[in-house]
Amino acid sequence: MAGQTKTRPGTRKVSRAGKKAKATTASRSKAQSGVQAVKDLTIKVCMGTGGLAAGSQDVIDEFAAQLRVCGITADIVKKCVNKTGCRGFCAKDVLVEITLDGETAVYQLVTPDKVSRIVQEHILGGDPVEQWLVGPEYHAFHDKQTKILLKQCGQIDPEDINAYIEIGGYEGVKKALSQTPFEVIEEVKSSGLRGRGGAGFPTGLKWEFCSMSSEAVRYIICNADEGDPGAFMDRAIIEGNPHSVLEGMIIGGYAIGAKEGYIYIRAEYPLAVGRLEIAIEQAKKRGFLGKNVLRSGYDFEIRIKQGAGAFVCGEASALMRSIEGKRGMPRAKLWRSAVKGLWDKPTVLNNVETFANIPLIILNGAEWYRGFGTERSTGTKVFALTGKMKNTGLIEVPMGMTLREMIFDIGGGMTGKNTLKAVQTGGPSGGCIPARHLDLPVDFDSLASVGSMMGSGSMVVVDQTTCMVDLAKFFITFTQHESCGKCVPCRIGTKRMLETLTRITEGRGREDDIDLLIELGNDIKNASLCGLGQSAPNPILSTIEFFREEYEAHIKYGRCPANVCKSLRQYLISPEACKMCGKCSRVCPSGAIKWEPRHTAELDKTKCVKCGACYDACPFNAIM
């Protein structure tokens, strides 16, 4: 499918969010100057992408309207109703937290029609509406986590710098500027922080290399490209607490001696881009950015560059070419970016989450930070739990927690009667971990030991209804499509792998295809130019290792154990169920379905290519 339709939308502006922010600050100062408070009331509504999709803007509007009807003045309404970023528990959005006279209650799955009862019974009457409150799984979801990065996401207004400053924001910058760059780097080094963008390179070391350069002009870049389909922690951090990322970059820039920073962010994240723009403006006004930061003599500026939809641009050298306005092609690693990066100047590139950790490390010290996680993977990590589980969402846990704890204790286990088959980590560069390895501690080295990787921290849980061969094909389709085409092993190798997998899923697999995939995979890994090719075969190699019998079932018996591969199914049209709409006939690419108005459709099996398009198109489940 992906090949037929255009990939990725071109979105660019978010101005509404910007206007809203101004309105909030203006009303705050008015409210302070005299209107009497009816009640000590705060309402927090999740306004992350998940919340917005679930209709949180309508919920906010409804609260505002209802409170106005009840005679609580509009000014107070605006002050009381806070917009917050994502609090992770997106499966039960819209989440609304109400604090009334010091007591807090959280509602889940709030819709505008529930608001009136909440206002009447809870806010006016003082009795929370029990049946709509969050259940025990909400508490299990939160209590088992260790939140240091996500702590403020969902609690503070991301469009208001004062909210961040009130909770100790920008203290890290103050402390760093009172130290020498060397001291800052030493602190980061001794914290043991490793890059959260995937490879896990020690951040302090990277900074040290760059700071030792003899060149005067240097750059620092934040990688917010988040290309792994299935990961959204960087988006959530930026939407929920954009200033923490800016603060990390300012500290980093000071440490390596850069005067300019860039944030390279996906254009698919319009809300995050908008919040960053607001945050940068506010930080400039307060003197955290610009000439002479906090009168320390250090100048620093941050610019936003929007990506244009290419996965490979998450790779360091391709990203830098893209900022330069060129085609985002990686180049051979003759030099480290710390020597020749953006515009051939020494450059440090770090991930969003890496930067968000920095202010905490500087402020609380390396010792404190090492208290979380394991010896070789310190700190916490944010994971995106998705797939066939009950509580999908974002979680933050110390490094080294087992998959079982994450999926069953925090994630609440599987939905329905499904049983867990595998966990896919690391996206298109990672692998599938089978259920028998559930007690594996999750850190950089353990994941690598089973042929997967941390990647950005996506975790997609699949059950018996997912075909592992099809999943491998899904990833190689993605990487093949995203390969920039510069080096042969990646450009042609991934294509051959995709062809082989397609053949297998269509029941035309050959006896030696598995060996061919393994050989090809290892060659591509060894010979590709950049990380994209070097990791592209991982999903295939790991599914072959752990689910070889599924490959064999496809090849030897023409059977898909999960009943996913469409070519291995038989299609039939039920004359009883057919409502004669003709949709199936229109989508059939091979003209195998005969249909005329007011006649049931008929399938010619000799022409059918078993693509399954008619099956998906039928609104009446008449195709079996």
Partner 1 sequence: MIEKKCQKILNTYHTENGSVISILQDMQEVFGYIREDAVEWFSAKLNIPASSFFGVATFYSQFYLKPRGKNIVTACCGTACHVKGSEAIINRMRADLAVAVGEDTTADGQFTLETVACVGACSIAPVVIVNKKIFGGVTPEKSSGILKDYEKNSKG
Binder of partner 1 out of 128, 261, 387, 431 (CB under 8 A):
387
Binder of partner 1 out of 2, 23, 212, 332 (CB under 8 A):
2
> Closest CB to ligand FMN among 84 and 456?
456
CB of residue 332 to ligand FMN, shortest distance in Å: 14
CB of residue 171 to partner 1, shortest distance in Å: 30
Parallel/antiparallel/unpaired status of strands 420-425 and 431-434: antiparallel
> Closest CB to partner 1 among 222 and 251?
222
Which one of partner 1, ligand FES, ligand FMN, none interacts with residue 196, CB within 5 to 8 A by kind? ligand FMN
Phi, psi of 398 (to 5 degrees): -65, 145
Q: Which residues pair with 461 in a beta bridge?
A: 387, 423
> Closest CB to partner 1 among 173 and 442?
442
Total residues contacting partner 1 by CB under 8 A comes to 78
- What angle (nearest 5°) sits at the alpha carbon of residue 478, between those of residues 476 and 480? 65
The interface mask with partner 1, positions 323-362, x = CB under 8 A, is: xxxxxx--------------x-------------------
CB of residue 618 to partner 1, shortest distance in Å: 8
Applying CB under 8 A, does 237 fall inside the site for partner 1?
no
- Tokens 């939160």 -> residue: 142
3 state SS of 518? helix
- Output the furthest CA–CA distance in the chain (Å, rounded): 82
Positions 468 through 527 that interact with partner 1 (CB under 8 A):
471, 474-475, 478, 484
Provide DSSP, 165-197: HHTTTTHHHHHHHTS-HHHHHHHHHHHT-B-TT
Which one of ligand FES, ligand FMN, partner 1, none interacts with residue 128, CB within 5 to 8 A by kind? none
Structure tokens at 307: 């990506």
Provide CB contacts within 8 A for 477, sequence distance 6+. Answer: 2, 3, 498
Which one of ligand FES, partner 1, ligand FMN, none interacts with residue 267, CB within 5 to 8 A by kind? partner 1
> Closest CB to ligand FMN among 91 and 176?
176
Q: How far apart are CA 49 and CA 57, in angstroms?
A: 11
Whether the CB-CB separation of 421 and 561 falls below 8 Å is answered with no
CB of residue 418 to partner 1, shortest distance in Å: 11
- Angstrom CA distances, 33 to 26, 30, 90, 165, stand at 11, 5, 37, 22
The sign of the dihedral angle between the CA atoms of 550, 556, 561, 563 is positive
Structure tokens at 154: 């969902």
The one-character DSSP state at 375 is S
Whether the CB-CB separation of 565 and 470 falls below 8 Å is answered with yes
> Closest CB to partner 1 among 169 and 227?
227
3 state SS of 479? helix
Positions 119 through 148 that interact with partner 1 (CB under 8 A):
none
Contacts with ligand FES by CB under 6 A lie at 229-230
Contacts with ligand FMN by CB under 6 A lie at 195-199, 201, 203, 223, 225-227, 311-312, 314-316, 349-351, 354, 456, 530-532
Applying CB under 8 A, does 322 fall inside the site for partner 1?
yes
Which one of ligand FES, partner 1, ligand FMN, none interacts with residue 315, CB within 5 to 8 A by kind? ligand FMN
CB of residue 384 to ligand FES, shortest distance in Å: 8
> Closest CB to ligand FMN among 56 and 458?
458
CB of residue 181 to partner 1, shortest distance in Å: 26
3 state SS of 28? helix
Q: How far apart are CA 600 and CA 321, in angstroms?
A: 56
CB of residue 520 to partner 1, shortest distance in Å: 22
